[in-house]
């Protein structure tokens, strides 16, 4: 698979303007996206707005954001606050990426240490489903963020009591290494150039394909058993193949096939 390519910054606007193909809108369903900056966050926001399945889509911001996107609401985020954050479903994206003229700077980009507190505030605000998405290209992240993801407190998040909790890991997790010396950094860079030696199903998939997988899970999950699930790299890779994520997700969740 190709390495991730950042979507057009106007993609979300174009997607929001497309009709929802006759899908009924869940009038009481509110979706919140935390971490809409970066390639993966933008893909998530585009799919959220294009689906037509949510009464409203909110995004956490850390600076004023002028947006003409239909159905999009901005929520100013204070990491030190403790007030509940209203949502029915929340997607937290850990990603950093190319910035389009400062646009990404307006989005709140969560820190791994913040996740338990953020999850608790979402649960108190009514969220029953939480998705935590790790980046498709972790090697491009700052070292502090990489180490933070390696020690992500998933148990604290699970203890918040979500009915449905999903951790998405599009790439294989690498062991944390000390890259303070120049030879270590050079060796890591040289190894990263040998991606063709990595099995295809362990390579990162496009951000758009990861987002499509997540929203297919959210679509089917109400008909499947609740609980906590982890979507590892091979599953995400399989869902990105030509057959699309639908059958893969259905088999994974054990949900009945949709007929008619």
Going from N- to C-terminal start, the domains of the chain cover: 11-253
pLDDT in tens, 117-139: 999 999 999 999 999 998 876 66
Residue 184 has pLDDT above 60, yes or no: no
- Architecture in CATH for domain 11-253: 3-Layer(aba) Sandwich (3.40)
Please tell me the chain's helix, strand, coil percentages from 3-state DSSP, rounded to the nearest 5. Answer: 40, 15, 45
Using DSSP's 3-state secondary structure scheme, residue 185 falls into helix
Query: What are the CA-CA distances from residue 32 to residues 123, 152, 172, 226, 252 (Å)?
Result: 12, 21, 27, 20, 25
Residue 114 has pLDDT above 80, yes or no: yes
pLDDT in tens, 63-100: 777 666 667 888 988 877 889 999 999 999 998 765 55
Average pLDDT of 171-195?
53
Contact 232, 169 (CB under 8 A): yes
pLDDT in tens, 220-252: 999 999 999 999 989 999 999 988 999 999 999
Determine which helix (DSSP H) or strand (DSSP E) holds 235, and give its type and residue range: helix 233-239
Bridge partner list, 144: none
**pLDDT grade, residue 170 (50/70/90)?**
confident
Query: Other C-beta atoms within 10 Å of 206: how many?
Result: 21
Using DSSP's 3-state secondary structure scheme, residue 131 falls into strand
């Amino acid at each position: 698979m190709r390495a991730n390519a950042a979507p057009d910054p106007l993609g979300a606007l174009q997607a929001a303007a497309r009709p929802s193909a006759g899908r009924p809108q869940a009038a009481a369903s509110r979706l919140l996206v935390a971490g809409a900056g970066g390639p993966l966050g933008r893909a998530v926001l585009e799919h959220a707005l294009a689906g037509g399945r949510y009464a409203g889509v909110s995004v956490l911001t850390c600076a004023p954001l002028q947006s003409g996107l239909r159905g999009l609401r901005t929520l100013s985020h204070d990491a030190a606050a403790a007030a509940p954050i209203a949502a029915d479903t929340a997607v937290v994206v850990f990603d950093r990426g190319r910035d389009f003229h400062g646009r990404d700077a307006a989005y709140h980009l969560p820190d791994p240490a913040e996740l338990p507190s953020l999850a608790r505030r979402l649960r108190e605000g009514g969220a029953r489903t939480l998705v935590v998405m790790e980046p498709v290209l972790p090697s491009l992240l700052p070292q502090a963020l990489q180490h933070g993801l390696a020690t992500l407190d998933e148990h604290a998040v699970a203890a918040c009591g979500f009915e449905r909790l999903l951790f998405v890991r599009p790439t294989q997790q690498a062991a944390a290494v000390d890259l303070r010396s120049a030879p270590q950094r050079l060796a890591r860079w040289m190894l990263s150039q040998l991606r063709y030696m990595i099995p295809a199903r362990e390579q990162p998939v496009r951000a758009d394909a990861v987002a499509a997988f997540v929203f297919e899970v959210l679509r089917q999950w109400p008909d499947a058993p609740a609980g906590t699930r982890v979507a590892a790299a091979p599953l995400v890779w399989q869902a990105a193949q030509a057959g699309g994520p639908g059958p893969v997700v259905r088999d994974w969740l054990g949900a009945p096939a949709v007929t008619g």
